[in-house]
Amino acid sequence: MALAEDLGLAREVEDFAGGAGYSDGAYMPLDELAVPITDFGFLRADACYDTAHVWHGLAFRLDDHVQRFRRSCEALRLDPGLGDAEIREVMIRLAQLDGRREQMVQIICTRGRVSAEAPRDPRRNQNRFWAFTRALDAIDSKLPEGARGLGVHISDIPRIPPESIDPRVKTFHRGDLTKALMEAMDAGADTCLVVDMAGNITEGPGFNVFAVAGERIVTPEAGMLEGITRSTVMELAGELGLASESRAISPEEMRGADEVFISSSAGGIMAVTRIDGTILSNGAPGPVTQRLAERYWAKKTDGWHATPIPGLA
């Protein structure tokens, strides 16, 4: 109860055990948060979002997530109605209310409802800002017991071209990725990678991908979200003396790599040990992947790039 009083709220902390939500200046239990069916975020997937990771009560690269969210809003001509400092404050308060030391905090801006005066002019819609917390949902947390890496299927389904939807803007346009993911699961894989119109690897549903040849790390240079964990991997590679570059990568090069791993906010750095039936690294995380993952989690635990959540850190 003390935490709720500190935040100026009239609810007991226990109300937020299943997650916390925010809308129109009010905090509420997650199951009370609801988007109107007429909101274009629901009707047309006309929205952008970002998701920050809280680990041991520390929000990782919180300002980077807020800044990327702002860039996404600007690219889609959306206005969340809050400044960056206010968005940051909402995220911290939600994390406090949720109370879990490991969680995700998602922020969203939807196009909102149409204007009665100009119902066919999306510039006149009443944009809305939303936020909520949820439990960590890393891709590798769903693996069968004993599995030591992910099985990935490279789909021929092309990513929506950047000329249509900029992949650097974090949106809910994922029909291509969802179709490829179901194809992958039908084939017995855990997840998928999709290609661009030229046939080069881009990304997977919610993650970036890296291939390792010797001690050189390569990652796609175009057609994908420029993930915050992706940039973190490049930073760590420099610390470890590993060469890294972004460039075009073919499916054949990916299948023939010494090691492959993916990166995401929820899961960090995760090994890929099978691609379309090809076994990588003898079916276990490779040495470069392990070095990067160990350093990543050790530095995060020590508070690297972290914003402490009061009452949780």
| pLDDT score of 3 more than 60 | no
In the predicted model, is pLDDT for residue 305 greater than 80? yes
Q: How far apart are CA 73 and CA 84, in angstroms?
A: 12
Q: What is the pLDDT of residues 163-192, one digit of tens each?
A: 999 999 999 999 999 999 999 999 999 999
Say yes or no: 112 and 219 in one domain.
Answer: no
- Average pLDDT of the chain to the nearest whole number: 92
Number of structural domains (the chain) is 2
Residues 6+ apart with CB under 8 A from 308: 57, 58, 59
Q: For residue 218, with 0-12 CB atoms within 10 Å meaning exposed, 13-18 middle and 19 or more buried, which class applies?
A: buried
In a domain, 26, yes or no: yes
Q: For position 69, which CATH number holds?
A: 3.30.470.10
Residue 239: give its domain's CATH number. Answer: 3.20.10.10
Residues 18 and 66 in one domain: yes
Which pLDDT score, from 0 to 100, does residue 214 have? 85
Last residue of a domain, one of 105, 136, 167: 136
Whether 306 and 297 have beta carbons less than 8 Å apart is answered as: no
Residue 53 has pLDDT above 80, yes or no: yes
Average pLDDT of the residues in 221-226: 96
Helix axis angle, 228-239 relative to 62-75, nearest 10°? Answer: 140
| Single-letter amino acid, residue 136 | L
55-72 residue pLDDT tens: 999 999 999 999 999 999
pTM: 0.92
Give φ, ψ of 293 to 5 degrees: -65, -45
Q: Residue 10 — pLDDT band, cuts 50, 70, 90?
A: very low
Looking at the structure, tell me whether residues 216 and 286 fall in a common domain: yes
Longest dimension (CA), the chain: 63
Distance set, CA 267 to CA 139, 158, 161, 207, 297 (Å): 7, 25, 26, 9, 10
Residue pair 281/34 in contact (Cβ under 8 Å)? The answer is no
pLDDT (tens digit per residue) in 98-149: 999 999 999 999 999 998 887 889 999 999 999 999 998 877 766 666 568 9
Q: Are residues 148 and 296 in the same domain?
A: yes
pLDDT at position 63, please? 98
The one-character DSSP state at 234 is: H
pLDDT at 148 (0 to 100): 82
